[in-house]
Amino acid sequence: MGSITTRDGTQLYYKDWGSGQPIVFSHGWPLTSDSWESQMFFLASQGYRAIAHDRRGHGRSSQPWDGNDMDTYADDLAELIEALDLRDAILFGFSTGGGEVARYIGRHGTGRLAKAGLIAAVPPKMVLSEDNPLGTPIEAFDGIRAGSVADRSQLYKDIASGPFFGFNRPGAKVSQGLIDSFWMQGMMAGHKSAYDCIKAFSETDFREDLKKFDIPTLILHGDDDQIVPIKASGLESAKLVKDAKLLVYPGAPHGLTDTHKEQVNADLLAFIKS
């Protein structure tokens, strides 16, 4: 585990497990690199080098007032990849992290990459607009912002105990441990950073970024994702990324890297080896 200092003086915490071909993970909102620990542990145990950072403003990284936007997130990722001199790397992004991966490729290309994966990811564009009729109305994101200002601790508990893991579905097997982990990671984020990130993940348009993908790409999504609905995200991204491999998990929620971790781990490994 270590840290790098970016050009604007932000310290980014990262963990670096194992050795072999590097696999870099970008996490979702409002979480930390810990949210990838099941996949990192599994793949590092399979002979790969698993690397994940806490996005600026999240987890153990600095909490700058500015720079909580997708361009800066992508540039931070580029600085990490360059600082560690990673080559032939595979990038996996979950939710907001999928946007980070897309914008990284859009801004920095694929010269250091071998493959990429978008897991329950926010691209192409989340918010409803005239040119994005499948999107989610802005009022939903305004509600998240209002909840964050009013009582973000309770907001995170409500998200985790309800739609994120699908625990609000009939017959769901609720894990208090997953709820507590989500809440703990969320509360490690800076208030301003997490607030700004809502706009970053919901309003950024990644369509032109996705068109620049020229490496094998996996798109993995649950068809019962209540946070990032598959019709406006995974299915649309698969149309924009040339020759993307699309995997749809029937009945899976947004937080499938935890609820379906054995299946996710197996599918990521198969994609890496393919």
Residues marked as catalytic: 95, 225, 254
The pair phi, psi for residue 53, each rounded to 5°, is -115, 160
Backbone angles phi, psi at 212, to 5 degrees: -90, -5
Which residue's structure tokens are 């979702």? 28
Distances (CA, A) of 253 to 110, 120, 220, 226, 227: 30, 9, 12, 7, 8
Answer whether 101's CB lies under 8 Å from 118's CB: yes
Are 132 and 156 spatial neighbours (Cβ–Cβ below 8 Å)?
no
- Strand-pair partners of 213: none
Q: Locate tokens 């009022």: which residue?
A: 139
Helix (H) or strand (E) holding 159: helix 138-159
> Which amino acid type is present at position 37?
E
41 pairs with which residues across the strands?
A: none
> Which two structure tokens, joined as six digits, stand for 123?
């691209």
SS3 of residue 188 by DSSP: helix
Helix ranges, 31-121 (H): 37-45, 70-83, 96-108
For the chain, give the number of residues: 274
